[in-house]
Structure formats: structure tokens, C-alpha cells
């Protein structure tokens, strides 16, 4: 039997269920029979009390009605009233006899005895006197309009009642006559109060029995539950243990990357079969998950390895994932550093667009992409005041014919944009810088060829042609220098050079070429650098040339060399010219960059001089920087490593 039950969980539950129902029925039946017996006894007693109360009430009401009828007879002398009094006497007799017959308790026997005594006294003493009084009044013997008790006593003389009589009714006293009604009411009230007390006791007993029945039923229920707990505990414990193992393995299956495979069980019920099926499913899922994880990791590593930033927007859950390049591009902190998976993107549009220059178009494109709208165009925007340029486009992702998300790709096109800008600047600069001297050369040569002029004028025009030719040579030299620097083919023939000598020669050349500028030099003659003399001269020449060129009104140009640090020489070239806007300072050393204001456009230039200066300074292990403001001139500072002649000679 036990083995048959163990084969199915349903059989185990049905066995426990039927056992529970049977025990509940037995205990409920026992409690019901006990309660029913108690209720029947109490109900019977309550019905008996109700019957006695009703009969006592009817007896009292008949007694009162008889006395009222008798009073009417005395006043009116109507024989019909006397007949009704006789009828009520017969009814009182029957009712009193019922109490005498059915009296059980001492209180009931006392009530029956008092009622009989009071009725007999009234019937034997009061009623005959009243009847004779009415006859005497009718015959004329009594002429008074209302009954007077002394007259009643004269009409019907009576002997005094016994001294031990309970109700002393005296026909000579009106008070005694009225007291008969009060006596009857007192007897009735005492009896009715006794019935009420008895009824209340019975009701309290009924309530007590009901509570005890409830307590017995609860105790029996607890006993049944205890029996069931003892009987079903082994089954429940084994079943819950198997289910708990399934729950634990299911949670681990959902949470852990390594799928747990439960041990095989010998149980033959449904839970055992489910456990074995779960074991087979877990083995299959472990294989599939390993394959999925490998593909997922491969995809994540591929996306992390590319330089383009990627955002994938899941339309159903609105979740956003990104590769490592996006967090680097937008300076966002990655939520999870794990190259085996994509990073979750928690930043909103405002955070991503902090560095974007074209915020409106950027936000519009991103919102439409996040909302799942189809977009075929691409958008290019700049970041950090055109420091970087990013091209962005969106691609729809479909799975099994249904669109699941959108992939946004951000490509850094700064280099391409810079190349395009450089091409444009190169064409614009070269075409302008070449056309201007070539136009002058062509014009002067045509004048010399086709016109006859004095020798002084010819010499003047040849000098101008020579200057424009040097200008062309300088432009071509700068272009070649830039090409060599970009290709990494720039070479320096370095040796110890006196910094004072180089600066003095450079200043002398420019001082002679400008009559409106005062150039000054502060430099120790013992300062040496290790470098290429020609390139250093080119560096200082470019800076002095710019200082003079961008100081069109003339002024001072101060060259100051300091050696506050033992291993670094600081050369500053300060002018009092037009100055440079703050917004232009970060790009000032870029190739072909020229400050875009009216004063600079009038002066002109290729935009290559400062780029070459930066390359030369860095090529000698130094740096160059600028401090400037509009209308207050500029100060260019070069830091170069100091060369010690003493150390070199001692070594």
C-alpha cells in the first residue's frame, strides 16, 4: 500500500486529504451531537418558562379585568357586568388550577398558593358584600351616590379574618379593598422576576455550552491537524526537499553562468521524474549557453576592438549598450569594465551632449534614434570648440524579420576633416601667396620689357622683383619644411651654439629692415644650446618677423633670455602689437591656421611660420607657448635645454 502511494504525488495528497476530511467529520459530528443535546435541553426549558410567563400574565390580566368589571357593576348595577365577572371567576379558577397542577419549583408552588389564597379571600369576602350593596341600593335602603366602605360593612356584616391569614382583605376599609389589587400585582411581579432570573441563567448556560462546543471543536481540529502533521510529515518533508532542490537549481540556472547539473534521484513520483528531466535540460542548456557565451564574447570583443563608437538601443526595453570607444570619445565612466560583454550606457542625452558644439542637431538625431525612427542620413558634429569632428549614422537591427533595435555608429573623422581643411587652406594660401608676388613680378618685367625708363627706375623695379622672388622662395621653403616635418624626414645638424650670438645676428637683420621698431636683447653671453644653428635662426627669425609684422604701428620688441633653472633656458619675445584673441590661442600653432579678424586679414600670411617654430622647438627638446590679449601685444616663450661647456670640457 505504501509503495503504491509513493508512486504518485496525487495519491499522497489524496490520502492526506481523505484522512483529514474523515477526522474532521468525526470530530465535527461528535461536537454537533453534544451541542445539539445541550441546545435542546435549554430550548425546552426556555419554552417552559415562556409558557409559565404567558399563563401568569393572563392570570394577572384576568384578575385586573374582573375587579374593573366588579367596580362597574357597583356603580351602574348592570347585571351583564356581573355575568362577565362570573365568567372571569371561572377563568381565574382554571388558570389558578393550572399553576397548582404544573408547579414544579418552590417559587411556582408559592405563586400558585398565593394566587389561590388571594382569589378565595376576594371571592368569599369582597364579592358577596358588593352584590348585597348593589341590591340594597336598588331597593332604596342605601341612597348614597357613591360607595362608602362603612355602609358596605353595615349592609353585610362579616366576621374578622383569622390572624394568620396572609392577605387581610377587609370590606370595611377602602385601603384594604385596593390593596387586593396591589397584592396580586406583587405576587405576579415576584413570580415573573423569578422566571426572568431562571431564563437568564438558562441563556448563560446556553452561551457557556456554545463556547465550550467551539473550544471542543477547535481542540478536536488541532488534534486532527497534529495527527495529520505526524502522519504526513515524512511525505511532505521528502516532497519539499525534492522541490527545494529543484528551486535552488532553477535559481542557479537563472543567475549563474555555470549551469548546475543536479544529481540523479531514485524517486519514482512526479517530482523525481521532473528532477531527471531538469537534469537533462540543464545539461542541454549548459552546452547551448557555452556556445551563446562564446558568440557573445566574440561579438563584444570585436566591437570593443574597433575605434568607432557604437550604441545599441533595445526598443522593447529601452536599454542602451555601448562599446569601450564611446566612453572614451564622450569622456564617460564605464559602468562595467568587462570586455566579455558590452557596457550598459546609463548616461542621458544631456550628459553625452555636454561636449558637442551643435547640440540641437545632435539631440534631435539621438532622440529619433532612441525612439526607433528610421534615418537614412548621417550627421557630422564637432566637439570641444571643433577640437574633434564626429560623423554619426544609424542602422536598423532586425531579428527574424522584426525590428528589435537601432545601432548608432560614431566615427572620428577629425583627421579627415583636418586634411580637408588643410587642403582648402593650402589651396587658398598658396594661390594667394603665389599670385601676389607673381603678379608683381609679371607686372614689373612687362614694364621693363616694353617700356623705356630711367636707370634709377629700372634698378628700383629690379629690386622689387628680387624681393618678390625671395618671398616666393620663402613660401616654397616653408612648404618643403612642413612636408619634411610631416614625413619625419627633417634632420638637425646639432652642435654647441652660443645663444647670444644667434639672437644678436637675428636682431641685427630685422633692426636694419624696420625703422619704426626698437628691438632690444637681454642675454648672457655664456649661455649655450646644443642644436642646429640654421634651424634655431629660422625659429627666432619667424618669431621676430611676426612681432614686427603684427605691430604695424611700430613699438618695442624685447628679447629676454633667463636661466632661472640650471638646466633650462627661457627665451621670451614680447611685442606691443595688435595681440591675439583668447579663442585663437589653442590652434595658433596648427598648420595653415590664421587668426580670423580684420587686423590679421589685412596683414596676411601663410599660417606656416608658427607651426614650423613649434616643430623646431620640439625637435631641440624644448617647448613653445604664447600669452596674449587683444590690443596688448603678445609674448612667445621658448624653453630649450641648456648646454654646459664646462661639463663638456671636463668630460
Q: What residue ranges do the domains of the chain occupy? A: 37-211, 306-412, 421-490, 492-650
Tell how strand 517-522 and strand 555-565 pair up. Answer: parallel
- Mean pLDDT for 295-316 is 79
**Residues 6 or more apart from 410 whose CB is under 8 A from it?**
308, 309, 310, 311, 325, 326, 329, 390, 391, 392
Measured CA to CA, the distance from residue 270 to residue 239 in angstroms comes to: 10
Q: With 50 as the cut, is the pLDDT of residue 175 above it?
A: no
Q: State the pLDDT at residue 174.
A: 44
Q: State the pLDDT at residue 177.
A: 47
CATH code reported for the domain at 421-490: 1.10.287.130
Q: In what helix (H) or strand (E) does residue 534 lie, and over which residues does it extend?
A: helix 533-549
Measured CA to CA, the distance from residue 70 to residue 82 in angstroms comes to: 7
Measured CA to CA, the distance from residue 197 to residue 199 in angstroms comes to: 5
Residue 602 Cα to chain centre, angstroms: 62
Q: What percent of the chain has pLDDT over 90?
A: 8
Q: Which residue has the higher pLDDT, 289 or 201?
A: 201
The CATH fold of domain 492-650:
Heat Shock Protein 90 (3.30.565)
- Mean pLDDT for 444-457 is 84
* End-to-end C-alpha distance for the chain, whole angstroms: 108
Number of neighbours of residue 23 by Cβ within 10 angstroms? 17
Best CA proximity match to 606, nearest among 419, 428, 417:
428
Q: State the pLDDT at residue 197.
A: 81
The CATH fold of domain 306-412:
Beta-Lactamase (3.30.450)
Q: With 60 as the cut, is the pLDDT of residue 637 above it?
A: yes
Residue 585: C-alpha distances to residues 414, 592, 634 (Å): 19, 14, 11
> pTM for this structure?
0.42
Q: With 70 as the cut, is the pLDDT of residue 381 above it?
A: yes
Q: State the pLDDT at residue 426.
A: 62
Q: State the pLDDT at residue 207.
A: 80
Measured CA to CA, the distance from residue 588 to residue 621 in angstroms comes to: 20
Q: State the pLDDT at residue 78.
A: 83
Q: State the pLDDT at residue 329.
A: 78
Give the three-state DSSP class for 180. Answer: helix
Judged by average pLDDT, the poorest of 523-527, 590-594, 600-604 is 600-604
**Three-state SS sequence of 105-128:** CHHHHHHHHHHHHHHHHHHHHHHH
Burial (Cβ within 10 Å: 0-12, 13-18, ≥19) of residue 90: exposed
Q: Which residue has the higher pLDDT, 625 or 77?
A: 625
Biggest distance spanned by C-alpha atoms of the chain: 197
Asked whether the beta carbons of 408 and 311 are under 8 A apart, the reply is yes
Q: Which residue has the higher pLDDT, 163 or 415?
A: 415
C-alpha cell at 159: 366576621
Predicted confidence band of residue 402 (pLDDT cuts 50, 70, 90): confident
Burial (Cβ within 10 Å: 0-12, 13-18, ≥19) of residue 535: buried
Q: Which residue has the higher pLDDT, 585 or 252?
A: 585
Predicted confidence band of residue 647 (pLDDT cuts 50, 70, 90): low
Q: What percent of the chain has pLDDT over 70?
A: 78
Write down how long the chain is: 651
What's the chain's average pLDDT?
Answer: 77
Amino acid at each position: 500500500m505504501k509503495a503504491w502511494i509513493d508512486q504518485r504525488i496525487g495519491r499522497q495528497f489524496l490520502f492526506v486529504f481523505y484522512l483529514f476530511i474523515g477526522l474532521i467529520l468525526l470530530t465535527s459530528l461528535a461536537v454537533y451531537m453534544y451541542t445539539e443535546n445541550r441546545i435542546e435541553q435549554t430550548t425546552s426549558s426556555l419554552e417552559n418558562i415562556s409558557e409559565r410567563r404567558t399563563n401568569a400574565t393572563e392570570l394577572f390580566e384576568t384578575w385586573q379585568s374582573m375587579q374593573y368589571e366588579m367596580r362597574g357593576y357597583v356603580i351602574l348595577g348592570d347585571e351583564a357586568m356581573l355575568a362577565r365577572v362570573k365568567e372571569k371567576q371561572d377563568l381565574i379558577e382554571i388558570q389558578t388550577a393550572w399553576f397548582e397542577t404544573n408547579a414544579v419549583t418552590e417559587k411556582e408552588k408559592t405563586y400558585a398558593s398565593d394566587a389561590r389564597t388571594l382569589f378565595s379571600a376576594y371571592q368569599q369576602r369582597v364579592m358577596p358584600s358588593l352584590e348585597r350593596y348593589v341590591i340594597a341600593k336598588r331597593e332604596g335602603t342605601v341612597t348614597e351616590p357613591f360607595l362608602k366602605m362603612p355602609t358596605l360593612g353595615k349592609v353585610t356584616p362579616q366576621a374578622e379574618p383569622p390572624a394568620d391569614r396572609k392577605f387581610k382583605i377587609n370590606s370595611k376599609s377602602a385601603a384594604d379593598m385596593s390593596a387586593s389589587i396591589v397584592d396580586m400585582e406583587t405576587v405576579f411581579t415576584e413570580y415573573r422576576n423569578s422566571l426572568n432570573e431562571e431564563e437568564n441563567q438558562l441563556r448563560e448556560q446556553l452561551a457557556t455550552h456554545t463556547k465550550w462546543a467551539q473550544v471542543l471543536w477547535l481542540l478536536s481540529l488541532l488534534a486532527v491537524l497534529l495527527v495529520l502533521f505526524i502522519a504526513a510529515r515524512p511525505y511532505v518533508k521528502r516532497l519539499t526537499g525534492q522541490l527545494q532542490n529543484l528551486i535552488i537549481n532553477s535559481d542557479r540556472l537563472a543567475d549563474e553562468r555555470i549551469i548546475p547539473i543536479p544529481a540523479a534521484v531514485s524517486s519514482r513520483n512526479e517530482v523525481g521524474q521532473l528532477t531527471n528531466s531538469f537534469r537533462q535540460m540543464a545539461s542541454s542548456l549548459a552546452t547551448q549557453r557555452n556556445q551563446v557565451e562564446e558568440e557573445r564574447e566574440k561579438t563584444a570583443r570585436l566591437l570593443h576592438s574597433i575605434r568607432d563608437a557604437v550604441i545599441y538601443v533595445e526598443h522593447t526595453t529601452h536599454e542602451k549598450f555601448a562599446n569601450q570607444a564611446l566612453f572614451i570619445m564622450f569622456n564617460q565612466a564605464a559602468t562595467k569594465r568587462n570586455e566579455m560583454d558590452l557596457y550598459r550606457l546609463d548616461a542621458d542625452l544631456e550628459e553625452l551632449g555636454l561636449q558637442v558644439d551643435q547640440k540641437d542637431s545632435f539631440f534631435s538625431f539621438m532622440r529619433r534614434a532612441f525612439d526607433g525612427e528610421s534615418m537614412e542620413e548621417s550627421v557630422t558634429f564637432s566637439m570641444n570648440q571643433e577640437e574633434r569632428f564626429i560623423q554619426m549614422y544609424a542602422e536598423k537591427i532586425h531579428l527574424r524579420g522584426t525590428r528589435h533595435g537601432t545601432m548608432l555608429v560614431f566615427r572620428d573623422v577629425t583627421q579627415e576633416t583636418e586634411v580637408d581643411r588643410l587642403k582648402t587652406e593650402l589651396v587658398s594660401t598658396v594661390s594667394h601667396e603665389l599670385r601676389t608676388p607673381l603678379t608683381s613680378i609679371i607686372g614689373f618685367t612687362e614694364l621693363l620689357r616694353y617700356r623705356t625708363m630711367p636707370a634709377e627706375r629700372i634698378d628700383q623695379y629690379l629690386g622689387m622683383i628680387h624681393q618678390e622672388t625671395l618671398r616666393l622662395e620663402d613660401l616654397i621653403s616653408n612648404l618643403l619644411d612642413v612636408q619634411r616635418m610631416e614625413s619625419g624626414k627633417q634632420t638637425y645638424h646639432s652642435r654647441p651654439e652660443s645663444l647670444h650670438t644667434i639672437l644678436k645676428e637675428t636682431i641685427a637683420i630685422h633692426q636694419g629692415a624696420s625703422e619704426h621698431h626698437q628691438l632690444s636683447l637681454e642675454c648672457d653671453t655664456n649661455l649655450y644650446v646644443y642644436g642646429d644653428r640654421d634651424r634655431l635662426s629660422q625659429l627666432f627669425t619667424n618669431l621676430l618677423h611676426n612681432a614686427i609684422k603684427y605691430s604695424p604701428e611700430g613699438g618695442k620688441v624685447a628679447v629676454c633670455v633667463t636661466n632661472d633653472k640650471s638646466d633650462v633656458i627661457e627665451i621670451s619675445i614680447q611685442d606691443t602689437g595688435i595681440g591675439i584673441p583668447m579663442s585663437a590661442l589653442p590652434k595658433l600653432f596648427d598648420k595653415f591656421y590664421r587668426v580670423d579678424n580684420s587686423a590679421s586679414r589685412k596683414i596676411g600670411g601663410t599660417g606656416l611660420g608658427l607651426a614650423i617654430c613649434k616643430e623646431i622647438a620640439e625637435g631641440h627638446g624644448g617647448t613653445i607657448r604664447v600669452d596674449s590679449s587683444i590690443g596688448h601685444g603678445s609674448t612667445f616663450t621658448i624653453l630649450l635645454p641648456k648646454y654646459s661647456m664646462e661639463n663638456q670640457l671636463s668630460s
